[in-house]
Amino acid sequence: MEPIIQMSHIDKTFKVLKRREGIKGSILDLFSREHTLLQAVNDVSLDIMPGEMVGYLGPNGAGKSTTIKMMTGVLEPTKGDILVNGRVPYENRTKNAQDIGVVFGQRTQLWWALPVIESFKILKDIYRIPDRVYKDNLEYYDELVGAGQLYHKAVREMSLGQRTLCDILAAFLHNPKVVFMDEPTIGLDVSMKSKIRTLVSNLNQSKGTTVILTTHDMGDVDALCKRIVIIDKGTVIYDNEIEHLRKYFGAYRTVKFKFKANRKDTKGMVAHEADEIRALLAYKFPEAETLQVTQEEQWVQLLINEEEARMMDVIHSVMEQKEIVDMNLQEISTEKVIQKIYEGGVL
């Protein structure tokens, strides 16, 4: 099978205006401009097969969106060859756009004032979706997430979760071969996140759509992607199956507790509680050598390695001893994983 996205030795450099300091500098800038070259993407090669779901990760400014812009035809690479669906994307942006879908978690691409179904009808015309395909997709969407009840609601009246859901449905409406998703679950609660993940996974499987997912939430990648590509400072630093990374994020869980206060001096008390919990867990879980208990402002924070002690057991032990007022299970950010990769020397 031919890869659906082929990038070989792609470079992208931007010309950035070098600004001089001070008022004198600003005036000088008006007359003579000095540019520096900023290499956003450096010798990136990537083959993505049809139907793959790839987690494309990296810290802010690593070159993620530059790469995505090159794949979508918005940007032209400075050097190297790129083919998407067998076409050079920047040479024909509109033709390429016909075969791709794009989802942004934070900004909707639907018409703000219109009911979703009207946006869909306009998209049907823009993408020239055949009646049959359009009808089938709407039915399938309804079956999948009960989208029917959202169709007549205006986008501006929707919750963020509903809007994201509709944006994803809209991106798949014309049966694109590749869908790019940028932070699709950002700002959503746990149940909505899981709904979105299930939806994307179903769409990928039933339609065979290739999905490129950028996110800061390791949970998204874990739920959806078999393969992870990590880019940092414009270079691909990791491209492999997620399984090899699981030890860097799969085992560790961070959980925070707030306990019922019975003294005024809260600061001293949290420190005291942390000590208590530390002693308790050391006694209950002697094998858990890496288990960390720290104080985080008003919270007692636990870092649990699930290979040593199961998180639910730890929470259970804490609950037996203390009255918990509030609890927070933190998602693992991709940054943490990347940091651990560097520390662990996998590269």
Partner 1 sequence: MEKEKNGFAFYAHIYKKILIQDLKSKMSYRADFIISTIGMLFTNVAGFITFWLIFQNFPQISGWTYHEMLFLYGFSMLALTPVQCFFDNNWNLSRAIHSGDFIKYCFRPINLFFYYMSEVFDIKGLGQFAFGIGTLAYSWNKLGLPLSFRNIAGLIIGVLSASLFMIALMNFASALHFWIVGATSVMILIFKFKDYARYPITIFNKFFQFVFSFIIPIGFMTYYPSLFILHQERISILTYLTPVFGIVFVYLSYLFWMKGARQYSGTGS
Q: Which residues bind partner 1 (CB under 8 A)?
A: 14, 61, 65, 69, 72, 74-76, 93-95, 97-98, 100, 102, 104, 107, 109, 111, 113-114, 118, 121-122, 125-128, 154
Our CB check for partner 1 shows the closer of 119 and 185 to be: 119
Q: Cβ closer to partner 1: 92 or 266?
A: 92
Name the minimum Å distance from CB 243 to partner 1.
Answer: 31
Q: Side chain identity at 145, as an amino acid letter?
A: V
CB atoms within 10 A of CB 176: 20
Q: Least distance in Å: CB of 122 to partner 1?
A: 6
C-beta of 210 vs 301, nearer to partner 1:
210
Judge contact between 66 and 60, C-beta under 8 A. Answer: no
- Least distance (Å) between residue 140 CB and partner 1: 22
* Distance of closest approach, residue 210 Cβ to partner 1, in angstroms: 16
Cβ burial, residue 25 (10 Å; 0-12/13-18/19+):
exposed
Distance CA 284, CA 162 (A): 44
User: 71 or 314: whose CB is closer to partner 1?
Assistant: 71
Q: What's the min distance (Å) between Cβ of 27 and partner 1?
A: 17
Residue 118: exposure state from Cβ atoms within 10 A (0-12, 13-18, ≥19): middle
Our CB check for partner 1 shows the closer of 107 and 260 to be 107
CB atoms within 10 A of CB 287: 8
Residue 94 Cβ, how far from partner 1 at the closest point, in Å?
A: 5
* 3-class DSSP assignment, residue 222: helix
Pairing of strands 227-232, 53-57: parallel
Rounded (10°) angle between helices 131-145 and 160-172: 150
Q: How would you classify the pairing of strands 34-48 and 5-18?
A: antiparallel
Q: Which is nearer to partner 1, 97 or 338 (CB)?
A: 97
The residue among 100 and 196 lying less far from partner 1, judged by its C-beta, is 100
Report in angstroms how near the CB of residue 264 gets to partner 1 at its nearest. Answer: 46
Instruction: Give the CB-side neighbour count of residue 196, counting CA atoms within 13 A.
Output: 27
